[in-house]
Amino acid sequence: MAIGSKDLTPQQLRGLENDPLRDALTEAKKELFNLRFQSATGQLESHGRLRAVRRDIARIYTEMRERELGIGQEPQPEATDEQDEAETTKEEVSQA
């Protein structure tokens, strides 16, 4: 993979809920702005980073669109032990 995209693989994006996904998009856009500014002033050292950040933004947008269309789903929060116990008692009462 390209430089910088190691922290935003498609599998990791699928594991994020909607709010952290939006936060990741905001951070990537800020980074892209800063990189473009550095490029314009001649201070950018790694030009490949621009490409990597643009790809990260595209990955995030793709995941958001898949969820919007119903292709991808937001991960369900894991049930706690208390919720599991409540569900088992409900099942026991309904079976009786």
Q: What is residue 1's predicted lDDT score, i.e. its pLDDT?
A: 40
Q: How far apart are CA 72 and CA 60, in angstroms?
A: 12
Tell me: the pLDDT tens digits for 41-72?
999 999 999 999 999 999 999 999 999 998 87
Residue 10: which domain range?
Answer: 5-95
Q: How many domains does the chain have?
A: 1
CATH number of the domain where residue 81 is located? 1.10.287.310
Q: What is residue 5's predicted lDDT score, i.e. its pLDDT?
A: 64
pTM for the predicted model, two decimal places: 0.71
Q: What is residue 10's predicted lDDT score, i.e. its pLDDT?
A: 84
Q: What is residue 21's predicted lDDT score, i.e. its pLDDT?
A: 93
Does the pLDDT value for residue 2 go beyond 60? no
Residue 74: half-sphere exposure toward Cβ, Cα within 13 Å: 9
